[in-house]
């Protein structure tokens, strides 16, 4: 199964935030109604919204990184995690 296509963005809902694909909520990050401060919920939503872009950058960049380097290993692991492998 593939993830919801990007682009994703971040949207505020009062003290909570969501990673959005168009008008669809992908992930919701609670602020005032959780133990996290509003700023943490917002930072988590920004990271969530960047996920498709980060995955695409890793897939693109891994072609230019030498096999066996730490960066290569980290990117391979991140890509596999994002793809559920």
- Helix count and strand count (H, E) for the chain: 2, 3
What pLDDT shows up at residue 73? 93
Q: What is the average pLDDT value for the chain, to the nearest integer?
A: 87
Percent of the chain with pLDDT over 90: 45
What 3-state class would DSSP assign to 67? Answer: coil
Do residues 50 and 38 make contact, with C-beta atoms less than 8 angstroms apart? no
Instruction: Work out the average pLDDT over 67-75.
Output: 91
What pLDDT shows up at residue 57? 92
Q: How confident is the model at residue 38 (pLDDT cuts 50, 70, 90)?
A: confident
In terms of pTM, does the model score above 0.85?
A: no
């Amino acid at each position: 199964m593939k993830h919801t296509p990007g682009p994703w963005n971040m949207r505020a809902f009062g003290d909570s935030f969501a990673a959005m694909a168009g008008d669809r909520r992908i992930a919701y990050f609670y602020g005032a109604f959780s133990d996290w401060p509003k700023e943490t919920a917002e930072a988590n939503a920004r990271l969530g919204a960047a996920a498709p872009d980060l995955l695409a950058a890793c897939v693109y960049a891994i072609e230019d990184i030498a096999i066996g380097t730490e960066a290569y290993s980290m990117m391979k692991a991140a890509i596999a995690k994002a793809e559920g492998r």
